[in-house]
Amino acid sequence: VHLQACGGGLVQAGGSLSVSCAASGSIFSINVMGWYRQAPGKQRELVAIITSGGVAIYADSVKGRFTISRDNAKNTVYLQMNSLKPEDTAVYYCCAGSYNKPTIYPRYWGQGTEVTVSS
């Protein structure tokens, strides 16, 4: 599975950004796509994922501010990020894998895309 991410950039605090990720290849092997992020000096952490059935899971830190969605016909997942905070600054990684509630198994990773939120 190949993941191609787009979007990200620089925004002021309170602003909005969006990122998207398109999957290609053996997509029949995955039932979840989403985003993780890694800030400098920190571990990679879950941001949001969405299953093929449309069930979305968010990190507590982004609930109410970020919205994940997917277009199954395009094998693409989108992350709309609103009310951004400086602590959202990180490299965002698209991922795909399997979800067996309550565990997420990320198996494939896209290239990271930087999101920088200035204060």
Residuewise pLDDT in 10s, the chain (119 residues):
999 999 999 999 999 999 999 999 988 889 999 999 999 999 999 999 999 999 999 999 999 999 999 999 999 999 999 999 999 999 999 999 999 888 889 999 999 999 999 99
Q: In the structure encoding, which two tokens stand for residue 96, read together?
A: 């795909």
What span, in angstroms and rounded, lies between the C-alpha atoms of 75 and 1? 11
Token pair of 82, please? 């609103």
Q: Answer whether the bond into residue 40 is a cis peptide, omega within 30°.
A: no
